[in-house]
Every structure is written in structure tokens, then in C-alpha cells.
Amino acid sequence: METNGDDAARLEACEARIGYHFKNPRLLALALTHASDKAGRVEASARDSDEGPAGALSGEPVDNERLEFLGDAVLGMMVCEELFHTYPESTEGELTHVKSVVVSGGVLARISDRLGIPEFMSLGKGMTTYKRLPSSLRANVFEAVLAAVYLDGGFEAARRFALTHIRRHIELVEKDRHRKNYKSILQQYAQREFSITPTYRVIREEGPDHVKEFEVAAVIGEKTYASGRGKSKKDAEQEAARATLNMLNALDADWS
């Protein structure tokens, strides 16, 4: 995947924004190429074919889907390692909860937006009609760029890149600063998107009064969404709201 003058300027601008200079800029170009860019993919494939194996990346990929796959795994490993060493007193369940939030599509989309990565993407004409690209796409391109950094500069370069932007969210979740907001965030989202205020339904109570555990489900309109568990109804409602926001991929709209 060669780059022309305009592409080179776009990639250099992206490098400046993300704070990493690629030895092999073709990796960044690939990470920024969405599968919808049919014309760009055909041109890239033709160029790689003319140049032979030396001009093509392994397997002659022409969009960022394989990099996204790799980036997801690399990010998960890095976050798990960071949590393992930073919070030695936390249980497996607590670490899993933190990881599930910080690698969620909503958080990654917000990080991608802060870095301005979507501005540099190569997209098909159909995608350019969006006022704002879908959250899942914005999250996926961050994972693809992370994978490109990993392949270009190795594990430590990728780790520095990822944790520079992820660590703040790890701290937010661990310190529980935002947890009290889950119900209000879900309420704002549901009212904005569905013109309905969520309600919560207790679906299970277990244990004696002094160690009782509740399971509560979030309900929007006539549809029951995710459930959450807690030692009080309030805690269970917060967990249900958090899980529902993740299900709706809505956290990115409210994380500052």
C-alpha cells in the first residue's frame, strides 16, 4: 500500500496527533482504511500486485479488519497486565469489571475522538454521509492503530501508546468516581433516545437479611435490558444501569 503526496501528508498529520512516528507508514495507512473504501482497496491491491511480495504487507490486506482483530487482543493483554500489577489487592472479579469498562466500545470511541483518529480515516462514500461515525467504527480504528504501533515498534511502544490514554479510565473506574452516575447517565440517554425514563425491577433476592444480595434488571419501556447484582437494591440498580449502557454502547456519550 503505497502513499501519494496527499496520503503522506494525512499520515504525517495523524502521526503528530497520536504522538507516534511510524518506521513503516504503510501500517498506519492500513490501520486507517475502513472496509467500506472499495476504490482505495482496489487501487492498493493493484499496486501491491504490480510490486510483488515486497510491496505488499503479509497476506496483502487492504483494510484494517485484521489489525483491529490483533489490536483487540493486544489491548486486552496490556490492560490485564496493568491491572494485575497496579491493584494487587483486587479480586479477579473486580479486575474483570474494571477491564470490561475500560476496553468497552464507548470508552475506546471516546479516546479515538480525543486523538482525532477518525478524521484521518479512508472511508467509502456511503460512510461519509454520517454526521458522526458510529461508535463501534471509532473504537475499532483505535484498536487497529494500536496494532499498527505494535507491529511497527514492538510491545513497549504499543504499551506506552495504549496506557497513555487508557490509564486515566482505569483510575476513574477503580476510584469509582463515575459509578454514582450510571443511573443518571442511563436516564439521560433513554430520555434522549426513547423519550422514556428507565425503571428497575428486582428479579431475585438471596441470603439472610444481614448478607442479602439483590439482582435487579433495568427496564426501558416494555423491554428488559441487562441485570446487575449488589448487596443493596441501590448497588444492584447501578450495576444494571452500567451493564445496560454497555449493551447500548452508550457510555461514550457521557464520559468526559
3-state secondary structure of 201: strand
DSSP per residue, 202-242:
EEEEES-GGG-EEEEEEEETTEEEEEEEESSHHHHHHHHHH
The answer to whether 15 touches 7, Cβ cutoff 8 Å, is: no
C-alpha closest to that of 234 among 169, 197, 184:
184
Cell of 165: 490514554
Catalytic annotation on 143? yes
d(CA 113, CA 212): 42
Instruction: Single out the catalytic residue among 113, 143, 152, 252.
Output: 143
Cell of 145: 492503530
d(CA 191, CA 77): 37
Instruction: Single out the catalytic residue among 37, 72, 215, 239.
Output: 72
Active site residues: 72, 143
